[in-house]
Amino acid sequence: MSQFTEKTQPRRRVALSLAATAATALVLITAGCSSSGSTSAGEFGFPEAKQDTSATITVWVDSDRQAVVDAFEAAHPEIKVDAVSYDGSANGSNSFRTKMQLFDRSGSGWPDVVFSTQNNDAAWASQKTNGKQAFAAQLDGGLIEKDTLSNFTEGSLDPCTVDGKVYCLRNDLAQSVMWYDKTLLDQFGYAVPTTWEEYEDLGKKVAAEHPGYIIGTAGDAWTPEVFFWGSKCQANDVTGPREVTVNTTSDECTRAATMLDTLRENGTVPNVSVFTPEFLQQYTGKVLMLQGPAWYAGAIFNNPNSLNVPAGELGVGAPLPWKGEDPVTGNVGGGTWFISSHSANLEAAKAFAEFATTADDYQVEKAPGYPAYAPAAEKWIAKQESSGYFATPLTALTEAGSQIWSGWGAGVFSQEAIWAKTITPAIASGESIEELLPKWQEAIKNQAQVDGYTVK
C-alpha cells in the first residue's frame, strides 16, 4: 500500500503537548545544550559551546516524527538520544520560538535538534534576540558538507536561507500539483487542463454539464499558497531578514482572483475546507480534481476517513502555467530540522539531522511525505509507484519539486493566518476575492510591520 495513506499535512498533525510553562522550561534546563564554554568564534561560523562527543543529544519532535528517532537509534546505537515530544509549532502555535526565548532568558536548556512543521522559523531562529546568540546553527559554514546541501531539490532550502546562509534542512516538500480522478475524467470525456485558462474553461463546462461536481476548493487558509503563489502574485516577496515587498493588485494577483471568483460563483471551486464534514457530505464521489499539495494524496484521496478514492483512479498532473509563461507552483507545508548553535555535541546533532533528512532508512522506507533530499525522493517516488495505487506515473511530483516559485518568501508572519482572518470571512459573506485584494495587501503590510519588517 502506498505510504501516502498517512496524512502529512503539517497544520493538522496530532501533537503531543510539551507543557508551555516556565516551570516546565526550568525542568528542561537540565537537558539539552550547554550554557557555558562558548567561544567568541567557532569553526563553523558561530560561537560554539565546549564540545563533548559522548554527550546525550536532546531532540524535539512532533508525534509523527517519532519514527525518525526510532530509526536513528536503530542505525546509531552509539549515540544517546533524549527525545522530547511537542506540537511541532503546528497550527501557528509558535511554540518553538516561544520556548527558545524562555531558554534564552534562563541561559541554558536549549535542545540540540528541533523539528518544526513550519517553513518560516529560520527567519527568527537565524537572528539574535535581545543580544542573545541566535538559536540556529549556520549549516553551510562547514557543519554540513556542501555535497549534502547540493543534493537537496533545487530551491527546497530557500526557506532555510537567510542573508545567503543556510540555517535548517528541509524534511519534505509539499509542492502543489493537479490531483485528478482519472476514472471520472474519462467517463465525462474531459482532458486534464494544461494551463490555468484551460482549467477555468473546464470549470465552466463542468458547471453546465455536470452541476455538483467540483474541480477545486477555495475554503482553506492555504488557498493563497495554491492559487496565488502559483500565479507569481507578489504578496509575500521577502527580500531580506526584515524586508518584504507586497503588491496584491498586480496582474499576477488579479488573474488568480478573477478566476477563483468565476469558479466559486458557478460552484466548481466552492468556498469549503477539505477537512470539514460539509466537504465529505457534498462532494464525495464528485471531485474531478483538486489543485493542492503533495500530501493531498494521502490526506484526502487515499484516506478511508476522507474521499477514499479506490486504487487505480487517482492521477497527478504537472503544475499549470498561465498561457505563454513557464509553469511555477506553490508549496503548502513541509517540515524543517534545526541544529542548535548552543549544542555541546554538534557531531551527534549533525548526524541526527542528516539522517532525518537524507537516510533511506527513514526518508524512503518510513517517511509519509515527498523527501526534500533529491536522491531519497527518487527512490521514494519509485516505491509509491510500485504500490499500484496510482492511475498515472508520479513524475509530475518530481517536476513540481523544482518549480516552486522563489518569489514567495518565508517571513516570520503567517500568510495563512492573515488570509484566514481577513479574507475567508469576507468571502463567506459574499464579497469577491478581486475586490478584497487591497484589503489583503493592507492586512499583510500591517502584520509585517508589527513583526518588524520594512514593507515596500
Q: Is the pLDDT assigned to residue 135 strictly greater than 50?
A: yes
Please give the share of the chain, as a percent, with pLDDT higher than 90.
86
pLDDT single digits (tens) 274-296: 999 999 999 999 999 999 999 99
Tell whether 362 and 409 lie within a shared domain. Answer: no
pLDDT of amino acid 129 = 87
How many domains does the chain contain in total? 2
**In this structure, are 224 and 132 located in the same domain?**
no
The verdict on residue 382 lying in a domain is no
Residue 85 has phi, psi (to 5 degrees) of -95, 130
Q: Judge whether residue 258 has pLDDT over 60.
A: yes
Whether residue 380 is contained in a domain is answered as no
Q: What is the mean pLDDT of residues 236-243?
A: 93
- Residue-wise pLDDT for 313-360, tens only, equals 999 999 999 999 999 999 998 899 999 999 999 999 999 999 999 999
- Percent with pLDDT over 70 in the chain: 91
Rounded to an integer, what distance in angstroms lies between the CA atom of residue 443 and that of residue 437?
Answer: 10
Kindly state whether residue 359 falls inside one of the protein's structural domains.
yes
- Per-residue pLDDT averaged across 145-154, rounded? 97
| Phi, psi angle pair for 182, to nearest 5° | -65, -35
- Are 217 and 288 in a shared domain? yes
Provide the pLDDT for residue 40: 54
pLDDT for position 29: 37
Residues 80 and 218 in one domain: no
Which residues, 6+ apart, have CB-to-CB distance to 174 below 8 Å? Answer: 8, 9, 10, 293, 294, 295, 331, 332, 333, 334, 369, 370
Tell me: pLDDT of 30 over 50: no
Per-residue pLDDT of 378-416, as tens digits, reads: 999 999 999 999 999 999 999 999 999 999 999 999 899
Please report where in the chains the cell 539539552 appears, as a residue.
Answer: 32
Confidence of residue 4 (pLDDT cuts 50, 70, 90): low
Residue 378 placed within a domain? no
* Secondary structure (3-state) at 425: helix
The answer to whether residue 362 sits within a structural domain is: yes
- Whether residue 238 is predicted with pLDDT greater than 90 in this model: the reply is yes
How confident is residue 34, by pLDDT bands cut at 50, 70 and 90? Answer: low
Closest CA to 298 of 4, 1, 3: 4
Residues 227 and 279 in one domain: yes
Task: Kindly give, in sequence order, each residue whose CB lies less than 8 Å from that of residue 452, ignoring residues fewer than 6 positions away.
Answer: 242, 412
198/57 same-domain check: no
pLDDT digits (tens, 9 = 90+) for 98-121: 999 999 999 999 999 999 999 999
CATH code: domain of residue 337: 3.40.190.10
Please check whether residues 213 and 286 belong to one and the same domain. Answer: yes
Q: Are residues 108 and 203 in the same domain?
A: no
CA distance 148 to 145: 5
* Judgement on whether residues 299 and 404 belong to the same structural domain of the protein: yes
Q: Are residues 115 and 90 in the same domain?
A: yes
Q: What is the pLDDT of residue 31?
A: 46
Q: Are residues 169 and 205 in the same domain?
A: no
Q: What is the pLDDT of residue 6?
A: 38
- Whether 150 and 203 map to the same domain: the answer is no
Residue 178, strand partner residues: 291, 317
Whether 155 is in a domain gets the answer yes
Q: Is residue 49 part of a domain?
A: yes
Q: Which residue segment(s) compose the domain that 102 sits in?
A: 3-173+333-372
pLDDT at 134 over 60: yes
- Residue 298 maps to a domain: yes
Query: What's residue 7's pLDDT?
Result: 38
Instruction: Check pLDDT > 50 for residue 24.
Output: no
pLDDT digits (tens, 9 = 90+) for 191-234: 999 999 999 999 999 999 999 999 999 999 999 999 999 999 99
